[in-house]
Structure 1
Amino acid sequence: MSGDITPIPTRWVGPLRLTGDVEAEQDVPLATYESPLWPSVGRGARISRLVADGIRVSVIDERMTRSSLFVAADAATALRASRDITGRFAELAATVSAQSRHARLIDVDTEIVGNLLYLRFALTTGDASGHNMVTLAAEALMAQILGWHPELSYGSISGNYCSDKKATAVNGILGRGRSVVVDILIPADLVRDQLRTTAARLVELNVRKNLVGSTIAGALRSANAHYANMLLAIFLATGQDAANIVEGSQGITYAEERGDGDLYFSCSLPTLIVGTVGNGKDLPFVDDALTRLGCREDREPGENARRLAGLVAATVLCGELSLLAAQTNQGELMQSHLLLERRSETSR
């Protein structure tokens, strides 16, 4: 390996004001070739500072999963084994705890297809995203289960019911990574002056574009404009596994008009896979970014990763809000792109 590094333009945007499960007023780094993303997220960040509660963060759940595949002679054999295995949860949990001081087994979900038995193990993994941690745990669990049930045979350490880096329904339903909901209530005058639109027009666009448009396109548990843009930019800047934007971008944008033209706006991200320790986190630029983000503090295991997840979700909201507002005005999106991209070119 040559050790070459591919440079990606990076800017810190903000600060964003967060309240709720994450309390912060914090700039965020965005690594992207799409230069209009910086001022777009910046507009959402500015609004967050003009609203008393800022962007409220609610961390709903956290878990990392690995599904292991076993093969039985027939469905009846698979079912008997499945019932016995799930009934011995405490023994499985003890095996996981023995593998790592941070890994904890919290759930086992099963599926039987013909003679195939899928076990989906869910673990909490502290501040790590947990990919390797759950695989290590699954290896130990498979050995234990095959010892209990010699009538089963090994199928695969990962049976795709996890589901890792693929657009699936199971992750949104059962959870994978951090499940985070962020929302904001924007007074009517700020909607008019900062977003150059109205709550009614933005709500209507969200229904027609994100909800109906995504449905007729066949979207899978997903109804948003461009979560992937913000996710990729902040993932690259903070040393995350960028392939996890596949499931991470499966989220839902929801909006309501309230009171006399106020805008309630939310983004739900049920599969936000981020970590502050582990592979890639020791790179100098990553360490610097996580330190500046306040994600290298001496906290209880999991707290730093939760803070990062809240910052990532809030960044998504800022960019989503700004783009949808622009699309309520004919011509504004393209005009903004041309203006900002030309300005970026001349400044180089």
Structure 2
Amino acid sequence: MNIKQEIDESITKANKLSADDRVPKGNSHNPISLQKRVDWVKDKFDLDMDAVTSHKIDPRRLRGVIENFVGAVQIPVGLAGPLQINGELAEGLFMAPFATVEGVITLSASRGARVINESGGIRVKVMQRQMTRAPVFQFNNLEECEAFVRWIRASYDTIEAECNKLSRHGRLDAIEDYIIGNTVHLKFCFLTGDAAGQNMVTIMTDNAAIWIRDNIEAQTSLKIRFYSVEGNLAGDKKFNYMNLNSNTSSRGARVFTEVFLKKEAMESIFDCTVEQFMAEANQGAVANTFAGTPGGLSVNSTNVIAAMYAATGQDLGCVVESASQQVFCEATEEGVYWSSLYSSIITGTKSNAQRLPTQNECLELLGCTGDKGAEKLAEIIAAFSVALDISTLASVANDTFSKAHRICGRG
């Protein structure tokens, strides 16, 4: 059988699917529909799913959160810390919930926190926070692209009004324009309050684009050959160099961190000298550059971002872009100066997480359920990410990394 025949056969089988082969009432969010789906799984797969169906989630609160709902997966949650954070919003000692199945991570971050605490705490600051969407418009040539950009700039006030009319919380902050070939990518930058705002800005941007498409030809005689609400310039759920390097239009929160690690604390807690630490950091930076790792030196702070995202109900699809960072460190007379700039930590606290009881409890633990909770959460995540990075780097530097996993990371 050739490839075409295999494809045709697959299509034929798919077209023969009966109603019994499909999840019943997938977008219905009520206890009766939930039970029908659970019963369907039991009948079709001979599986009770007792553990998955044991949860405290009200299915009626899940519209817009999930479809085909059958239950919940429990991830162990450990507490890391305490960590002294000296932020504009996160100020004081914090314990962070890590939802993870990787041993050692929670202990290692806590160890890093001890060194940071004995060094006076870690400074964190959200430099900027926004959400972006970047539609693309195609024309015939450069001249038409330039004319389109001029018209967009002249029409900004109207476009802003078209965006803002569809949201109580989102506000258009800026539009950046980029000409690539015979296309124009418009990067719409929004302020979204305490919501992450990804769906919000998509709807707002598309409404503005509808106005653009309805009015451009009458006002300029330009004709759009192709349009898409996202041309892939925004970096949605993927690493993006533009977001890493931009001071004006990155996605999520751009968080600056800074800590002065005292050599006495490093030696007593990490059992690692400044010389060992910096030697490993320098080797790691060179190797990361050779391997093409963005941002230079990077250790394993992605573990913290994933664990805290799962615990607090953040969008797990954003872990990759949120882990994007630029690290700077150097030896000083007192120890080590370390600074990580996280370019795109995407957080939302006025979101679906509020409807999930366990995730909402974790947000309450961190004090992130009030105003500016999303920025505060971004500060806390960045701070604990640094705690894990420096601890892991020290354990690799003094050759205890493998030993720690043998002792704590195995069942």
> What TM-score, normalized by structure 1, do the two folds share?
0.92
Q: State the Cα distance separating 1:69 from its structure 2 match.
A: 1.3
Equivalence for 1:13 = 80
Equivalence for 2:342 = 269
Equivalence for 1:65 = 132
- Cα deviation, 1:48-100, whole Å, max 9, x if unaligned, reads 33233x11012111111000011223221121111220233232222222222
- Cα deviation, 1:115-163, whole Å, max 9, x if unaligned, reads 2221110111000111011101111110121133122255211110111
Q: CA 1:222–1:66 in structure 2 vs 1: closer, same or farther (change >3 Å)?
A: farther
2:77–2:99 CA contact under 8 A, matched in 1: yes
Query: Structure 1 residue 188 and structure 2 residue 263: aligned?
Result: yes
- Cα deviation, 1:7-54, whole Å, max 9, x if unaligned, reads 2111111121111323131110001111110100110122233233x1
1:146–1:153 CA contact under 8 A, matched in 2: no
Q: Measure, in 2, the Cα distance between the counterparts of 1:24 and 1:110.
A: 41
Equivalence for 2:374 = 305
Q: Measure, in 2, the Cα distance between the counterparts of 1:220 and 1:45.
A: 25
Q: State the Cα distance separating 1:280 from its structure 2 match.
A: 3.7
AA at the equivalent of 1:257: A
Choose the corresponding residue for 1:200, options 253, 275, 299: 275
The answer for unaligned runs of 5 or more in structure 1 is none
Q: CA 1:90–1:2 in structure 2 vs 1: closer, same or farther (change >3 Å)?
A: closer
Query: Structure 1 residue 178 and structure 2 residue 246: aligned?
Result: no
Query: Structure 1 residue 255 and structure 2 residue 255: aligned?
Result: no
Q: Measure, in 1, the Cα distance between the counterparts of 2:161 and 2:183.
A: 26
Q: Measure, in 2, the Cα distance between the counterparts of 1:64 and 1:227.
A: 22
Q: Measure, in 1, the Cα distance between the counterparts of 2:304 and 2:256.
A: 15
Q: Measure, in 2, the Cα distance between the counterparts of 1:223 and 1:155.
A: 38
1:227–1:251 CA contact under 8 A, matched in 2: no
Query: Structure 1 residue 215 and structure 2 residue 297: aligned?
Result: no
Choose the corresponding residue for 2:91, options 12, 15, 23: 23
Equivalence for 2:238 = 166
Structure 2 counterparts to residues 211-250 of structure 1, below 5 A: 211-250=285-324
Q: Measure, in 1, the Cα distance between the counterparts of 2:351 and 2:165.
A: 19
Q: State the Cα distance separating 1:2 from its structure 2 match.
A: 5.4
1:70–1:156 CA contact under 8 A, matched in 2: yes
Q: Measure, in 2, the Cα distance between the counterparts of 1:134 and 1:154.
A: 21
Q: Measure, in 2, the Cα distance between the counterparts of 1:255 and 1:317.
A: 12
Equivalence for 1:288 = 361
AA at the equivalent of 1:184: V
Q: Measure, in 1, the Cα distance between the counterparts of 2:183 and 2:144.
A: 10
Greater alpha carbon shift after TM alignment, 231-240 vs 11-20: 11-20
Greater alpha carbon shift after TM alignment, 6-15 vs 60-69: 6-15
Q: State the Cα distance separating 1:257 from its structure 2 match.
A: 1.3
Structure 2 counterparts to residues 111-126 of structure 1, below 5 A: 111-126=178-193
More RCO (CA 8 Å, sep 6+): 1
Corresponding residue pairs, total? 335
Q: Measure, in 1, the Cα distance between the counterparts of 2:168 and 2:196.
A: 15
AA at the equivalent of 2:345: L
Equivalence for 1:85 = 152
Q: Measure, in 1, the Cα distance between the counterparts of 2:100 and 2:294.
A: 26
Query: Structure 1 residue 103 and structure 2 residue 178: aligned?
Result: no
Equivalence for 1:47 = 115
Q: Measure, in 2, the Cα distance between the counterparts of 1:202 and 1:91.
A: 55
1:202–1:325 CA contact under 8 A, matched in 2: yes
Q: State the Cα distance separating 1:334 from its structure 2 match.
A: 0.5
The answer for unaligned runs of 5 or more in structure 2 is 1-67, 218-222
Greater alpha carbon shift after TM alignment, 333-342 vs 316-325: 333-342
1:17–1:45 CA contact under 8 A, matched in 2: yes
By percentage of residues, which structure has more strand? Answer: 1
The Cα RMSD (Å) is 1.6
